[in-house]
Amino acid sequence: MQIDELINKIKNVPKFLNLKKVIENNQYHYNQSVYDHILEVLERAVNFSSGDFIENEKAKRLFIEFTNQEIGELKIKDSMLLTALLHDVSKSAKYNDGDGKEQAVLKTDSNGKTEGQMHEYVSSLLAPQFLEDRGLSEEAVNHVCKVIKLHDAFDEDYFKMVLDWPIEQIVDNVKLRAEGVYIEALFNIYCDCFTAKPFQFALKTIEKIFESPFLYSKRAFYF
């Protein structure tokens, strides 16, 4: 199954369409449905996956080489699109703690502000329901879910912390994070928060990270 066909099938699953009814209202989303946000993130992921946002030619070539590698017979480029599609699916989910009291993952306070604490982790738990029986290997599904779980590894607080660091130090630190899927996680947060006002200060830093050829060299630890 081609990735476009797979994405279209998932987009028409009733549980996914339910995201149209879930409205977020906070500093990152102004009265926007989760469904609309996800489609915006997906569109950016499709566009940025070409690597055209990277000006350094060597870094761009390394990015393309990386995204064309396969994990579980799925190109990393395609897994990044599935991550964009499913990274927020838990925001329409509910849960209970065995007491019969149903609660929403995305909570709304008395002022109408929404917040989905740990939605990254919950989305990674629920994402397989959208990916099962789609011809994907277990390794490929696990990779997508791992990146979903870690898509907040490079959040606003992280970029505030490294704001004044030399770019070489930032890249070195990035490679120690997100359990080894730092390129995928960084790409997702770039697509996810690209238009969010509180995150604008971080975009240039992310672009500089992707401009560094050092980002794409595989790190191995040993004694």
pLDDT at 151: 86
**Centroid of chain to Cα 126:** 15
The ranges of the chain with pLDDT < 50 are none
Can you give the pLDDT at residue 1? 77
pLDDT value of residue 137:
97
Question: pLDDT value at position 62?
Answer: 98
Burial of 140 (0-12, 13-18, 19+ CB in 10 A): buried
| Per-residue pLDDT tens digits for 133-192 | 999 999 999 999 999 999 899 999 999 999 999 999 999 999 999 999 999 999 999 999
What local confidence, expressed as pLDDT, does residue 100 receive? 85
Cα 216 to Cα 196: distance, rounded to the nearest angstrom: 27
